[in-house]
Structure 1
Amino acid sequence: MKNSPSYSVTSVDHALQLAVILQVEGPLRVSEAAARLGVARSTAHRLLSMLVFRDFAVQDANRCYAAGPVLSLAARSHSRISSLRLVAMPFLDALAARLDESANLMVLFGDHMRFIGTVEGKRVLRVGSREGSVMPAHLVSGGKAILAELPAGELEALYAPEAWAGREQERPSLDTLRDQLHGIPAAGVALNVEGTEAGVTAVGRVVRTNDDGLRAAVSVSMPSTRFTTEGLGSIVRALTVATAGIEREFARKVTTGEN
């Protein structure tokens, strides 16, 4: 887990967060950007204007900002991910409130998971927002849950040596990874016990979108001191309710063609 540098510059951090949102979720207006960052509209406008200047964003005829040439991804991916986040956030709210721990939505990009939504728990000691973070899929609870359900050939291709050229030291052993993933589909959830950050444990479950191009998961993260095997059952039940709700509402949205 990467730590925020002591010399971090808030404006730079905000600009990078906006770049990630535009790349992963698609277009947004100044008011929406301001709300996501918790800043004034004028601040959001300045940030977006700088992204346009550097080709990280473009402004369309409807005064919406979208990913520019530097960040462009498929429009379909934008639409689907944005819709999924919109659907999922109320369920993350309910999940965080039910367990009083932080709840996250993430999607698979290559061999990494990108966190696209977080609702923090209310306790003083809690896991902070992961929104905008990118972490190795094989270390993250939601990533493990997704990898465990991939067809064997797809998993092998994802972790083939040639796919990790220049990152050889980061590549996990495929045999070891298979051992770690074994049993996750039957259990329905995957665990990340301090695999990405000391003192943090997470439990993840797949969100089935019925779209192989959009693989997602929800996780609950908490300080390791509060995680117990006795309490795992209640976490699994809460995750099951949340993911079922997201799947149901997302399927309805796709079927009706809602934006």
Structure 2
Amino acid sequence: MQNMRIVKKPGYAVDSVDRALQLILLLQETEWLRIGQAAKALGVAPSTAHRLMSTLVYRGFALQDDQHRYCAGPALHPEPAVGAERALVAAARPHLEALAARVQETVNLVERVGATARYLATVEGPQLLRVGNRAGTILPAHVSAAGKAILSTLPDEMVSAVCARQPPHGGSALTAAEMQELQAELRDVRSRGFAVNLGRTEPDLAAVGAPLASGNRPAALALSISAPLSRARQIQDPAAVEALLTCCAALRLELETQGRL
């Protein structure tokens, strides 16, 4: 009979590491997890659970939706798609860094996943008062600037089909009146080439977003510039918008050359 080795908790275990690993296991076992649930399961204060979860989000082990719930992140899914996503982010990062340096604000790479916008990568701006790292955040596509930019590349009937579905993370589907308002806004986005978010996702945040569109094909990705609401006018300035559009065109061309679009 083969001897079985019993694994016990080491006496030198680092509590914070142990709790982080327990949290990873919880994320793998549940579809969505709230901070209160995590704190109760770990036997720690909510503030401690929040710090641990924030670190997991930063490292790609967790994703956060707009209702402050968390699910397992891409780092917990060792699939070919994860490698492709990392390669995409690596290709995009120099462009994000150049744009952030030029406009002096935070820049994001965003993809549409169903009716949501998922932030893949962020390069923070250099200013003291700035928007922080949003990588891993999930927002409704119809309210974020990047999400609306992507939706604007879809036909009206497809926008209705996408946004009429119940969001996978909870919340209400758009009403008929809200859908009409969104369609009208998307027509404006198509005509000017970029979308705007003024306090829709967070009261003190402004953003402009543009799609990585190629010809008449719908876009799956977008870039956005995020700033405090007090600097909303600056990021809508023609020079900032032109920098955003130029960056989108350059990144799109590189991704097409690499076969990633």
Q: TM-score, normalised by structure 2?
A: 0.68
Distance 1:157 1:98, change over 3 A: same
SS state of the match for residue 128, structure 2?
coil
- TM-aligned CA deviation for residue 157 of structure 1: 1.2
Alpha-carbon distance between aligned partners in 2 of 1:81 and 1:234, rounded to the nearest angstrom: 30
Q: Is the 8 A contact 2:151 2:159 kept in 1?
A: yes
Question: Which residue of structure 2 aligns with residue 122 of structure 1?
Answer: 126
| Structure 2 letter corresponding to 1:67 | H
Question: Which residue of structure 2 aligns with residue 94 of structure 1?
Answer: 98
Alpha-carbon distance between aligned partners in 2 of 1:218 and 1:166, rounded to the nearest angstrom: 23
Q: Is 1:227 matched with 2:237?
A: no
What 5-or-longer segments of structure 1 have no aligned partner?
A: 22-55, 59-64
Distance 1:209 1:134, change over 3 A: farther
SS state of the match for residue 123, structure 1?
coil
Please give the root-mean-square deviation of Cα atoms over the aligned residues, in Å. 3.3
SS state of the match for residue 99, structure 2?
helix
Question: Which residue of structure 2 aligns with residue 11 of structure 1?
Answer: 52
What 5-or-longer segments of structure 2 have no aligned partner?
A: 1-34, 37-45, 64-71
- TM-aligned CA deviation for residue 243 of structure 1: 0.8
Alpha-carbon distance between aligned partners in 2 of 1:139 and 1:123, rounded to the nearest angstrom: 25
Question: Which residue of structure 2 aligns with residue 105 of structure 1?
Answer: 109
- TM-aligned CA deviation for residue 80 of structure 1: 4.0
| Structure 2 letter corresponding to 1:83 | A
Q: Is 1:239 matched with 2:249?
A: no
Q: TM-score, normalised by structure 1?
A: 0.69
SS state of the match for residue 208, structure 1?
coil
SS state of the match for residue 258, structure 2?
helix
Question: Which residue of structure 2 aligns with residue 67 of structure 1?
Answer: 77
Distance 1:57 1:205, change over 3 A: closer
Alpha-carbon distance between aligned partners in 2 of 1:179 and 1:57, rounded to the nearest angstrom: 34
Question: Which residue of structure 2 aligns with residue 171 of structure 1?
Answer: 174
Question: Which residue of structure 2 aligns with residue 24 of structure 1?
Answer: none
SS state of the match for residue 202, structure 2?
coil
Distance 1:66 1:185, change over 3 A: same
- TM-aligned CA deviation for residue 202 of structure 1: 0.3
Alpha-carbon distance between aligned partners in 1 of 2:73 and 2:132, rounded to the nearest angstrom: 28
Q: Is the 8 A contact 1:164 1:171 kept in 2?
A: no
Q: Is the 8 A contact 1:141 1:203 kept in 2?
A: yes
Question: Which residue of structure 1 aligns with residue 160 of structure 2?
Answer: 156
Q: Is the 8 A contact 1:103 1:218 kept in 2?
A: yes
- TM-aligned CA deviation for residue 153 of structure 1: 2.6
Question: Which residue of structure 2 aligns with residue 48 of structure 1?
Answer: none
Q: Is the 8 A contact 2:105 2:125 kept in 1?
A: yes
- TM-aligned CA deviation for residue 11 of structure 1: 3.0
| Structure 2 letter corresponding to 1:169 | S
Calculate percent identity across the aligned residue pairs.
27
| Structure 2 letter corresponding to 1:193 | L
Distance 1:235 1:213, change over 3 A: closer
